[in-house]
């Protein structure tokens, strides 16, 4: 790490939440600062609040009324006496007005000057500025005239497909790929709504959509003394919904000549706007060419891979530059060592188009070991809510080369255990094991191109996984009996004349699996799906149990939550539900004509009226959740019998949105 332990500021308020707030506070505490958190009502017991030396409330759960409320944050700054304010990323990290408000409150903004934020805050203005600075720019339209006719004419001039983007945003919000002219109007309307919701600014730009591009970005740092360097590149090509999933440094296949050219362009961009602090210059590359896309005037989510390959603490560098110090190292002194890869663990369902998931983390166990780093802002018992980003953790692996880093990341993902909500853990595991990823055949269309492999339905649980669930239950019963000396609590299956037999039935999706259990001395005899044999189980730390079954020895982590058994195998997570033979039959599910909200959110558009005839797959409503729009479509042809909610309504998961009188004849 760079520098010593002298605190350049005595205290810092982190104007953010979750994982990045925890990350910033870890460095601040290491160099001797008092750490101050802010929190919404929903976050009053969050990990970043528990980690801080003190914490201040800033408003209700919705981000607009708390983390995005400049007056509330300024009040917290003044009341806490914070000398510095670190904005993290997202929220107000690229808001020039907030940076000015911090200064007016008597604190130092740990970020670039407001003028630099403004210069890069509009993607349109940034592209024009980069063109004047000689930095190559993707062909596109980023003018002030936002009329649909002007944008349509520009799209025809550029040539389809085009990419519609929010001028003020990032992270995939307000972004649409448009393949045909007839789809442009709807894309512009949807992107503008999403941009207003996420950034408060509905202005858009369009640019040429490249077919096999790579997303390569340069980490830059500048100080207030004219110094500007880069800390090498990151490849962020693996994306879904235009949001990054996997990032790595250095970029595979990067030559020294190309690195020098991209580094020169990135530092030229920083100097062109009088930059100071950490920034990221993002390029799109195809073949031997690269073009400027945007500059993010903040720390990036993926900054840990840069830290892993350089051995530097970028947050400490931010503090030092904000305190007026020159850059700690010159360009030639920055060394690149090994390879690092980061995977973003999200609460989402890849099988449902990566739909965000919400819920409480019943169990969370994150990996550790040589070359492994985990950044998170949650712990077991915390909740992932509709109000904020659904990222659970970043899992980063470093190795001597890409092959070793990839192997370590695969093992780390296999050791990750999350119970209580759906995650992309298994999807990430398949991704990093995919032959094309191992061969570094990367571009932004990777996930879509290999979707059949990456998003294929999971194979039914193997006998070993079902046996693991059964043994977790039997072991728990045995442990409870050992804790109670009463003979009535014995769980050895004793009965007059013979050992007890029982059948445990588990459901996985629509499939039921029976496990025949016979109690035996020192263990059990199990029979499941044609596999039978003696079985034993013992605790091996945490949720892991060591199993011997039918002559095979293996380990599984099994987390039990009520009647739900989460079985974590090396390649897949299994969710098995124990059926109660005495329970009454479950109520029949609602018919296809009843449409319910897949998650909590706000209805932003109602596209039909009661009485309308609709076709199967036709959009009916648009639901906004976690700053993304989700279209609710007709499951079958029919007539809209009833609309239960209107535009602007807030709805919970499972709320009935509409009733559709299904056209039975159309389904024949």
Burial of 655 (0-12, 13-18, 19+ CB in 10 A): middle
Q: What is the CATH number of domain 11-110?
A: 3.40.50.20
**Where does the pLDDT of residue 127 fall: very low under 50, low under 70, confident under 90, or very high at 90 and above?**
confident
Active site residue 260: no
pLDDT interval class at 366 (50, 70, 90) = very high
SS3 477: helix
Q: Which of 94, 160, 173 has its CA nearest to residue 126?
A: 94
Q: At what angle do helices 114-121 and 123-132 cross, to 10 degrees?
A: 100
Mean pLDDT across the stretch 355-365?
91
Query: CATH fold of 139-208, please?
Result: Dna Ligase; domain 1 (3.30.1490)
CATH number of 350-456: 3.50.40.10, 3.30.470.20, 3.40.50.150, 3.40.50.720? 3.30.470.20
Q: C-alpha angle with apex 321: 315 to 325, nearest 5 degrees?
A: 130
Interior/surface letters 166-184, b for 16+ CB within 10 angstroms, e for the rest: bbbbbbbbbbbebeeeeeb
Residue 142 clears pLDDT 90, i.e. is over it:
no
Q: Which sign, positive or negative, has the C-alpha torsion 654, 657, 661, 666?
A: negative
**Ordered DSSP codes for 333-371:** G----SEEEEEEEESEEGGGTTEE--EE-SEEE---STT
pLDDT digits (tens, 9 = 90+) for 393-431: 999 999 999 999 999 999 999 999 999 999 999 999 999
Give whole-number Cα distances, 75 to 112, 115, 175, 591, in Å: 22, 24, 34, 52
> What pLDDT is stored for residue 533 in this prediction?
95
CB contact at 8 A, 181 and 155? yes
Is 60 exceeded by the pLDDT of residue 591? no
Query: In CATH terms, are 11-110 and 463-578 the same topology?
Result: no
In the CATH hierarchy, which fold is given to the domain comprising 463-578?
Glycoprotein, Type 4 Pilin (3.30.700)
Distance CA 338, CA 307 (A): 11
Q: Mean pLDDT lowest for which of 18-22, 36-40, 370-374, 497-501? A: 497-501
| Cα–chain center distance at 267 | 29
Q: Is 241 exposed, middle or buried (0-12, 13-18, 19+ CB in 10 A)?
A: middle
- Tell me how far apart the alpha carbons of residues 602 and 646 are, in angstroms, rounded to a whole number: 10
Task: Report yes or no: 409 and 399 within 8 Å, Cβ to Cβ.
Answer: no
Mean pLDDT of 587-608: 72
pLDDT of residue 207: 87
Q: What are the residue boundaries of the structural domains of the chain, listed by start?
A: 11-110, 139-208, 350-456, 463-578, 594-662
Is the predicted pLDDT of residue 554 greater than 90, yes or no?
Answer: yes
Query: What average pLDDT does the structure give for the chain?
Result: 90
Mean pLDDT of 451-473: 93
Alpha carbon distance 388, 324 (integer Å): 34
Average pLDDT over residues 560-572: 91
Beta bridge partners of 650: 602
Q: What is the DSSP string of 246-271?
A: EEEESPTT--HHHHHHHHHHHHHHHH
Q: What CATH architecture applies to the domain 594-662?
A: Beta Barrel (2.40)
**Residue in 298, 425, 433, 574 annotated catalytic:** 298
Q: What is the pLDDT of residues 253-272, one digit of tens each?
A: 999 999 999 999 999 999 98
Of the ranges 285-289, 389-393, 618-622, the best mean pLDDT one: 389-393
Does residue 625 register a pLDDT over 60? yes
pLDDT at 623: 86
Say what the pLDDT of residue 598 is: 77
């Amino acid at each position: 790490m760079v520098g010593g332990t002298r605190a350049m500021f005595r205290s810092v308020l982190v104007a953010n939440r979750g994982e990045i707030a925890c990350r910033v506070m870890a460095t601040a505490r290491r160099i001797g600062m008092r750490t101050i958190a802010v929190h919404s009502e929903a976050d009053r017991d969050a990990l970043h609040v528990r980690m801080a030396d003190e914490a201040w409330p800033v408003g209700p759960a919705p981000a607009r009324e708390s983390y995005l409320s400049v007056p509330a944050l300024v009040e917290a700054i003044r009341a806490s006496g914070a000398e510095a304010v670190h904005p993290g990323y997202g929220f107000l990290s690229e808001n020039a007005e907030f940076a000015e408000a911090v200064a007016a409150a008597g604190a130092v903004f740990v970020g670039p000057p407001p003028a630099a934020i403004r210069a890069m805050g509009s993607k349109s203005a940034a592209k024009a500025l980069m063109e004047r600075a000689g930095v190559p720019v993707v062909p596109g339209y980023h003018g002030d005239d936002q009329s649909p006719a002007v944008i349509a004419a520009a799209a025809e001039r550029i040539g389809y497909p085009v990419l519609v983007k929010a001028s003020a945003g990032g992270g995939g919000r307000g972004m649409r790929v448009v393949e045909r002219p007839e789809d442009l109007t709807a894309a512009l309307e949807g992107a503008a709504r999403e941009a207003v919701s996420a950034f408060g600014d509905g202005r858009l730009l369009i640019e040429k959509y490249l077919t096999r591009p790579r997303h390569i970005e340069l980490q830059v740092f500048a100080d207030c003394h004219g110094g500007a360097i880069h800390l090498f590149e990151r490849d962020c090509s693996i994306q879904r919904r235009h949001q990054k999933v996997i990032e790595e440094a250095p970029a595979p296949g990067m030559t020294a000549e190309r690195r020098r050219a991209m580094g020169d362009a990135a530092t030229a961009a920083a100097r062109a706007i009088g930059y100071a602090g950490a920034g990221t210059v993002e390029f799109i590359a195809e073949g031997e060419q690269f073009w400027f896309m945007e500059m993010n005037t903040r720390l990036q989510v993926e900054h840990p891979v840069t830290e892993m390959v350089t051995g530097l603490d970028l947050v400490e560098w931010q503090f030092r530059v904000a305190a007026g110090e020159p850059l700690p190292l010159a360009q030639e002194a920055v060394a690149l060592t090994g390879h690092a890869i980061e995977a973003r663990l999200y609460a989402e369902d890849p099988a449902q188009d990566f739909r965000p998931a919400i819920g409480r983390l019943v169990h969370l166990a994150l990996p550790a070991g040589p070359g492994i780093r985990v950044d998170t802002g949650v712990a077991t018992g915390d909740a992932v809510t509709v109000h904020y980003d659904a990222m659970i953790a970043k899992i980063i692996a470093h190795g001597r080369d890409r092959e070793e880093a990839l192997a370590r990341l695969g093992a780390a993902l296999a050791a990750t255990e999350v119970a209580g909500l759906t995650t992309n853990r298994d999807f990430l595991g398949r991704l990093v094991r995919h032959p094309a990823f191992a061969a570094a055949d990367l571009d932004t269309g990777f996930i879509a191109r290999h979707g059949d492999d990456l998003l294929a339905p999971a194979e039914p649980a193997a006998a070993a996984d079902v046996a693991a669930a059964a043994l977790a239950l039997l072991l728990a019963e045995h442990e409870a009996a050992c804790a109670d000396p009463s003979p009535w609590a014995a769980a050895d299956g004793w009965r007059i004349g013979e050992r007890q037999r029982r059948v445990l039935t588990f459901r996985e999706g629509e499939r039921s699996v029976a496990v025949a259990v016979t109690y035996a001395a020192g263990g059990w005899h199990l029979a499941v799906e044609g596999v039978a044999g003696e079985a034993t189980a013992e605790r091996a730390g945490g949720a892991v149990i060591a199993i011997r079954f039918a002559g095979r020895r293996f380990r599984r982590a099994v987390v039990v939550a009520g009647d739900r058994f989460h079985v974590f195998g090396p390649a897949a997570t299994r969710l098995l539900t124990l059926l109660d033979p005495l329970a009454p039959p479950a109520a029949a599910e609602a018919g296809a004509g009843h449409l319910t909200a897949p998650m909590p959110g706000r209805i932003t558009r109602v596209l039909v009226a009661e009485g309308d005839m609709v076709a199967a797959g036709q959009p009916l409503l648009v639901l906004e959740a976690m700053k993304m729009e989700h279209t609710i479509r007709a499951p079958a042809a029919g007539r809209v019998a009833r609309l239960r909610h209107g535009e602007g309504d807030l709805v919970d998961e499972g709320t009935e949105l509409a009733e559709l009188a299904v056209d039975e004849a159309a389904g024949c």
